[in-house]
Homo-oligomer: A and B are copies of this chain.
């Protein structure tokens, strides 16, 4: 436990220069490592700093360099409970990457297409770049950031080639999982989809379709239900799915899947023996469900890290770790046997 003695002096670069009998230019150089400086001088400065626990004032440094060493994370104000795990993991990854480069993360909760918070953030110039955490089609926020020439990266798929983005391999994962189900003998595979305005929904939908196409199978459009936002909708969909004689259900995320399981339970349909079920996003509840549900695992913490990493790179930072492409993992469990 580190205790700061009560009246401890907060050193400035001036103090150090004075005490060491050098100029503050020299001190600055010793710290930043930029510019030529003698070995001995550098060590003298560095050891003084170490000993007196000097930490440069980041705000002052920022003013001089016209930087803030802050990133903004833009969170949708209205995100649903079911999206928490995703945002939380993203946030963690972003924070880790940022702080390993001595950046901090400012959060801003933005409300749909209301740009006021964004404008405030932009006007205050307290961040060097921003991360938009939910890709939405035709997003006003994105337009705005572009028009401000603010460096930013989007989390989610992005068609605009001028925009930097990171994304889980949603399409591929969806296609793979759907293919597996079809190969395992599912004849009529239903789809329970999420909010249609989210880009991720589109990707997963496409994966489902492509799996059918590549295997020369017909897509049963009457088995596709989008915007499954509550139990009522899901129950209705499940009922129709069963009536239509489907023998498999692909759920776009764990929340939808949880509701789907609940419906099946009410209707007394056994998972696996009665109908096969899989989810495109893994969570504890699916793993521990009885029977355990087949699903796709994404590494969202790493997704967040990559987002922050790309942004830092745009800001001219050197990344220590070079970034491997993102991947996913299909976890086969009892529900699709």
Contact = CB atoms under 8 A, between A and B. Distances in A.
Interface residues of A, number: 53
Contact of A2 (B69, B108, B119, B126): B119
Contacts of A104: 106, 108, 121, 124, 126
Interface in A40-61: 55, 57-60
A2 B123 CA distance: 12
**Copies of the protein in its oligomer:** 2
Interface in A122-138: 123-126
Interface in A50-104: 55, 57-60, 62-63, 68-70, 73, 77, 79, 81, 84-85, 88, 91-92, 95, 99, 102, 104
29 contacts: A1-B140, A1-B143, A1-B147, A2-B144, A4-B149, A55-B123, A55-B124, A57-B63, A57-B125, A58-B125, A59-B59, A59-B68, A60-B63, A69-B126, A70-B126, A81-B84, A81-B283, A81-B284, A84-B84, A92-B109, A95-B108, A95-B109, A102-B120, A102-B124, A104-B108, A104-B121, A105-B106, A105-B108, A107-B107
